Amino acid sequence: MAATAAHEVLVGGTVGRQPAGRAGFVGTVRSEFTKIRSVRSTYWALLALVVACVGIGALFSWGQTQRLLRIESGTRFDGGKVPPGFAAQIAAQIHAQAASISLFGLLIGQLIIIVLGALAITSEYSTGMIRTSLSVMPRRGTVFAAKGVVFGLVALVVGLVTSFLAFFTGQAILSSQHVGTSLGHHDVLRTVVGGGLFLAVCGLLSFGIGAMLRHTAGAIAAGIGLMFVLWILTQFLPGPPSGWIGQADIDKWIPFNAGSSIWENQANGLHPFSPWIGFAVFCGYAAAAIISGLVVFLRRDA
Partner 1 sequence: MIEAKGLTKRYGDTLAVDHLSFTVEPGRITGFLGPNGAGKTTTMRLILGLDRPTSGTVTVNGKPFSRLAWPMREVGALLDAKAVHGGRSAYNHLLCVAQTNNLPARRIGEVLELVGLTEVARKRSKGFSLGMGQRLGIAAALLGDPQILMFDEPVNGLDPEGILWIRNLMKALAADGRTVFVSSHLMSEMENTADHLIVIGRGRLISDCTTAEFIAANSQQSVRVRTPQRDELTMVASAAGATVRDDVGDSVVLLGLTAAQVGDLAFENRIRLHELAPAHASLEEAFMELTASSVEFHAGLPDAVERETAHAGEVA
Does 2 sit near partner 1 (CB under 8 A)? Answer: no
Angle at 131 between CA 8 and CA 45, to 5 degrees: 110
Does 35 sit near partner 1 (CB under 8 A)? Answer: yes
Q: Which of residues 39-98 bind partner 1 (CB under 8 A)?
A: 39-41
Helix, strand, coil proportions of the chain in percent (round to 5)? 75, 0, 25
130-138's contacts with Cβ under 8 Å and 24+ in sequence apart are 130/302, 131/302, 134/302, 137/23, 137/27, 137/28, 137/31
Bridge partner residues of 75 (DSSP): 81
Q: Closer to partner 1 at the Cβ: 144 or 263?
A: 144
Among 30, 76, 178, 271, binds partner 1 (CB under 8 A): 30
Among 108, 137, 221, 287, binds partner 1 (CB under 8 A): 137
Among 2, 5, 21, 84, binds partner 1 (CB under 8 A): 21
Q: Closer to partner 1 at the Cβ: 127 or 274?
A: 127
Q: How far apart are CA 150 and CA 49, in angstroms?
A: 18
Among 2, 5, 38, 243, binds partner 1 (CB under 8 A): 38
Q: How far is the CB of 13 from partner 1 (least distance, A)?
A: 4
Report which of 251, 272, 249, 248 is spatially closest to residue 262, judged by C-alpha positions: 272
Does 27 sit near partner 1 (CB under 8 A)? Answer: yes
Specify the DSSP class assigned to residue 84.
Answer: T
Bridge partner residues of 269 (DSSP): none
Does 1 sit near partner 1 (CB under 8 A)? Answer: no
Stretch that binds partner 1, among 89-97, 125-133, 201-209, 277-285 (CB under 8 A): 125-133
Specify the DSSP class assigned to residue 19.
Answer: P
Q: How far is the CB of 202 from partner 1 (least distance, A)?
A: 24
Q: How far apart are CA 252 and CA 261, in angstroms?
A: 9
Stretch that binds partner 1, among 20-28, 168-176, 222-230, 240-248 (CB under 8 A): 20-28
Does 216 sit near partner 1 (CB under 8 A)? Answer: no
